[in-house]
Amino acid sequence: MSQDTVVDLLAELVAFDTTSHRSNLPLIAFVEAYLARHGVASRRVPDDTGEKANLYATIGPVDRPGVMLSGHTDTVPVTGQAWSVDPFRLTVEGERLYGRGTADMKGFLAAMLGAVPALVEADLAVPVHLAFSHDEEVGCLGVRSLLADLAHQPVRPAACLVGEPTSMRPATAHKGKLAVRLHVRGKACHSGMAPEGVNAIHVAARLATWVEETAVAKATRGPFDVRFAIPHTTLQVGTIQGGAALNIVPQDCRLDIEIRNVAEDDPEALLGELMAVAASLEAEMRETHPEAGIQLERLSDYPGLSMADDHALVDFILALLDERELERIGYGTEGGLFQHELGIPTLVCGPGSMAQGHQPDESVTRDQLARCEAFLSRLSEALSGPEARRRLAAGGLLVAAPA
């Protein structure tokens, strides 16, 4: 695989503005055509609107499980960011390649596509599956239709590698996330008669105080998972909006709340505690105004990823990377969904750093792309040849093909 080829592919991918609120279909069509040119069939898994789609392809034998390489096609917005280059045109300056998505995570997608010709020519004993998802950046929403599709297939992947940027160090764990919005509905009145109204901001503030106090309790008492730099569950209020004017008791206030949990904490239980507080406050509000209340809107949620450090997949990937250091990442991925929903052992490993992701002048280095290319080449070799399937099954990595 030529790095120039991967850089050219990255330039093509960056040129598609796949910010999450836009359609990703032009990029999907490009990938479909590229795969077809190399004799690889693929299938779309569209969303309900028909404006977005996941894409899935298999290279090698289709009657047995293999290793899936997975990445999302959407990116975060550039709105309000001070870019010094065009974010949707790849800019190469020495070692660095700049553009939206270069790190998160079109660099990995380019390397995946760059590996396709060699994978097609390889004598694969087990397949390599390629998955391209949408709407990861807004709560890992898009991949869920792909999960449902795979759940009904006669053969599903036996292992998965999600190529989020980890500087090519495999990550075995990340926290789960639950995000909700509470809409507090009070009663407006002139501020000179404030006791006759129900102040929605005051009620929201009490909810925010509960969030802060619970966050402090988690930091103090745990439970703790020392694999993470921040080893406990975190809670925060990310946005709060309410009120119309200083001389009006505010009728409405909305606050967005996020929980990022370690495996020992149940985010649904924490949400239940929050809603119990909300119910108590709602009862107080209705003593003044019967139509006051607090409504819950779920924004997004995904499970954490938790792989044992001595799992066969971990050993297999580390050997291909010539790497002994494992990561535990602070951001979420689709990996937890593959593991929890389909039971697929999953690691996160890809080129670039999330320190560059979501930032103006996002970039990835040539060295990181080269390391990813070398890894994918070794993966192809490890999955090829008459003895590969027996060797992988004996090592506990891949289950036998279904009858």
- Residue 292's SS3 state is coil
The residue type of 152 is: H
**174: exposed, middle or buried (C-beta count within 10 Å: 0-12, 13-18, 19+)?**
buried
Query: Which residues are CB-contacts of 52 (< 8 A; sequence separation ≥ 6)?
Result: 23, 24, 25, 46, 134, 135, 142
Residue 166 DSSP code: B
Residue 136 DSSP code: -
* Token code pair at residue 3: 């790095």
CA dihedral 396, 401, 402, 403 (to 10 degrees): -120
* Residue labelled with tokens 């992947």: 157
Query: Which residues are CB-contacts of 42 (< 8 A; sequence separation ≥ 6)?
Result: 31, 32, 35, 36, 55, 56, 57, 130
Catalytic site positions: 74, 136
Cβ contacts of 212-219, under 8 Å, gap ≥ 24: 212/237, 214/270, 214/273, 214/274, 218/265
DSSP E strands: which ranges in 87-150?
91-93, 96-98, 128-133
Element (H, E) at 368: helix 366-382
DSSP E strands: which ranges in 222-323?
234-242, 252-261, 293-302, 305-306
**323: exposed, middle or buried (C-beta count within 10 Å: 0-12, 13-18, 19+)?**
middle
The residue type of 309 is: D
* Token code pair at residue 140: 């890992």
- In whole angstroms, what is the distance from residue 370 CA to residue 356 CA? 18
